[in-house]
Amino acid sequence: MKKYAIMALAVLSMAACSDKKFHVEGTVDNAKDQVLYFEHVDISDITVLDSVKLDADGAFAFSGDSPEAPEFYRLRISDQIINVAIDSTETVTVKAQYPQMASQYEVSGSEDCQKIKELALRQQALYREALAISQSDQLNVDQTNDSILALVARYKEEVKAQYIFPEPSKSYAYFALFQTLGNTLIFNPRTDKEDIKVFAAVATSWDTFWPNAERGANLHNIALEGMKNVRLREAANSKTIDPSIISEAGIIDIAMPDNHGKIRRLTDLKGSVVLLDFHVFAMQESPARILMLRELYNKYHAQGFEIYQVSLDEDEHFWKQQTAALPWVSVRDEENQAHTLRLYNVQSVPDFFLIDRGNNLVSRGDDTKDIEQAIKKLL
């Protein structure tokens, strides 16, 4: 079927870049004779790519081949570090003040790098507040621990709401996942259910934009390992529940009102094989697609197949008319549509995802050659 565009594609630059390189340049004041290192931050290692002994003017300029997917680099003098992200042939300009360049710097030429700076400053402030709590004479051990945990919890909620969930495909969302407090990850996907969902959200986004990126695959592995650890821990703590039936949702939940005004949650369909369908009833191809979905629903519903359909129609009355006779869950929420689309990286409709009985995202439309066979396999 033809696809109905719902999101504008990023505007491509008309100027061809002949060398396909990125550039990181700028100045570091008060750093005469200091050695500035330019390093690549890989998944498992940090490699020095270049270095320069700074003159009195503190000027530097580094460059590298444009990456196929976002990559992370850093400028470092001793233990003072400035992180930058590169995803194309951009030129990032940094103006810093030594010896506190990790916090006293300005960056331009990249929104991602600006957001990373904001996250770095927030992380530093979090550390200072946690340190002050730990050094307080007015708190006992339990009070100290509780206060620090509450501080970290507030930090995580703010970062999720302001940096990760609005744009999970951005480099700064990925960067936020690996921030630490001391030597401990702030978002801990090894033991925290909610943190696993955050990693999974970013992993799903990277799958869409950079399907072959090693970082995206690594995020999926981390999330899956975390789910396994949580299941094992919960099974070990329970003597009455069969460990084999314990499962953790591997999807981002959606909660929207249906055509009768009732809030319907995607995760409430756990136990069924679910087709999460993003649809516009106003598009020309809608009747044929709805007929196809009806055939699938009638054929497999008795075996545990469900459809959760998210309408993107602007006309609420028209949507209610079109869905009045549909037997599956049909929801619409004009205020939250954009947020949901970003979380699932839906760029055009129709688009769909298949979810197994354990609430785990299995595949999306572009990856499913035969939708009926894929459903039968999950059933």
pLDDT in tens, 57-94: 999 999 999 999 999 999 999 999 999 999 988 899 99
| Predicted local confidence at residue 11, as pLDDT | 31
Report H helices in the chain. 111-134, 141-159, 171-177, 193-209, 214-236, 286-300, 316-323, 337-344, 371-378
Of the pLDDT bands very low, low, confident and very high (cuts 50, 70, 90), residue 336 is low
Contact 94, 54 (CB under 8 A): no
| Predicted local confidence at residue 230, as pLDDT | 66
Three-state secondary-structure class, residue 166: coil
| Predicted local confidence at residue 250, as pLDDT | 58
| Predicted local confidence at residue 17, as pLDDT | 40
| Predicted local confidence at residue 254, as pLDDT | 84
Distance (Å, whole) CA 113 – CA 116: 5
58: DSSP letter = -
165, exposed or middle or buried, with CB in 10 Å at 0-12, 13-18, 19+? middle
Distance (Å, whole) CA 355 – CA 364: 9
| Predicted local confidence at residue 300, as pLDDT | 93
| Predicted local confidence at residue 22, as pLDDT | 95
> Is 80 exceeded by the pLDDT of residue 41?
yes
pLDDT in tens, 86-122: 998 889 999 999 999 999 999 999 999 999 999 999 9
| Predicted local confidence at residue 182, as pLDDT | 80
Counts of helices then strands in the chain (DSSP H, E)? 9, 19
Q: Which is more confident, 371 or 101?
A: 101
Q: How many other CB atoms are there within 10 angstroms of residue 120's CB atom?
A: 18
> Is 70 exceeded by the pLDDT of residue 12?
no
Of the pLDDT bands very low, low, confident and very high (cuts 50, 70, 90), residue 218 is confident
- Tokens matching residue 58: 């503190």
335: DSSP letter = T
| Predicted local confidence at residue 156, as pLDDT | 94
pLDDT average, residue stretch 346-363: 84
pLDDT in tens, 148-165: 999 999 999 999 999 999
Q: How many other CB atoms are there within 10 angstroms of residue 168's CB atom?
A: 26
Name the range with the highest mean pLDDT among 43-52, 193-202, 348-357. Answer: 43-52
- Tokens matching residue 333: 């929420």
| Predicted local confidence at residue 243, as pLDDT | 38
| Predicted local confidence at residue 216, as pLDDT | 86
Amino acid at 333: D
Handedness of CA 162, 165, 166, 168 (dihedral sign): positive
Q: Which is more confident, 337 or 145?
A: 145
Three-state secondary-structure class, residue 210: coil
pLDDT average, residue stretch 280-290: 86
